[in-house]
Amino acid sequence: MMNKTIWKPVHNVLGLSTAVFLLLLLVSGILLNHPSLLGEGGPGIVAPDPSDPRRILFVRTDGLYQSLDGGGTLEEVPMLFPPRETSDLTFAPGNSKGVYLLERWGRLLHSADGGKVWESLPLPFDPQGQGIELKRIGAGGNGRLALLTSHGWLLSEDGGKTWDSGRFDPRSRPLRRIVHSVHTGYFFGPGFVWLYDFAAAGLGILIVSGVVLWRIGKKGL
């Protein structure tokens, strides 16, 4: 017969260690789903103005900023809907008024006045719903655009109004993207991220309350 006096402390230590580890996973997962909670303040993407080297655009986790003195000071560029998880930012060549901003799992935005007013360019697919990552945007002359995604290239000759998808296959599903989107909740749509957060918080409360009840029961013995 096993000696209970030996295994009970081992069981308690392993249970408590596992609970702490799960809490760390839960908290870190929620923070990764909402980068703004991490308080990241440094510039993520930087784009210099091709016609004015002292003007620079910065994309940070909390919005879009510009500097008019080569990066010495920053001022926020007001946007109705600030960008989320920007993957690229670029000026059209030789045109300080034409700016393109790319969200990793969302929109391709264009400004024709240097960043004051932005419009969302239509894409022939739903990046978030179909799990297609938007990686880079390249701008050429006469409205030519090249969009690199996780599923191939798309080209446009008219500023993003129509796209040539000959080098693009939306049916392919990279395994890494599938696993990542299921883990974060994006696989089922943006709204499910909050559902995942709620479930994670509920599991965290169960863990903490379980440890508290265990300690109370132990003191009552």
User: Over the stretch 51-83, which tens digit does the pLDDT of each residue have?
Assistant: 888 999 988 777 889 999 988 898 988 888 888
pLDDT at 11 over 50: yes
What pTM did the predictor assign?
0.63
Q: How far apart are CA 144 and CA 165, in angstroms?
A: 14
Q: How far apart are CA 36 and CA 74, in angstroms?
A: 19
Other Cβ atoms within 10 Å of 99 Cβ, number:
25
* Cα within 13 Å of Cα(213), Cβ side: 6
Name the average pLDDT for the chain: 80
Other Cβ atoms within 10 Å of 18 Cβ, number:
11
Q: How far apart are CA 182 and CA 139, in angstroms?
A: 33
pLDDT the model gives residue 100 = 95
Q: Tokens 């599923």, residue? A: 151
Asked if 129 and 139 count as a contact pair (C-beta separation under 8 A), the reply is no
pLDDT the model gives residue 35 = 61
Q: Which domains does the chain have, with CATH numbers?
A: 43-172 (2.130.10.10)
Q: How far apart are CA 1 and CA 13, in angstroms?
A: 22
Mean pLDDT of 93-105: 87
pLDDT the model gives residue 190 = 59
Q: How far apart are CA 38 and CA 163, in angstroms?
A: 37
pLDDT the model gives residue 118 = 92
Q: Which of 21, 152, 139, 136 is nearest to 87 (CA)?
A: 136
Q: What is the pLDDT of residues 132-153, one digit of tens each?
A: 889 999 998 888 999 999 889 9
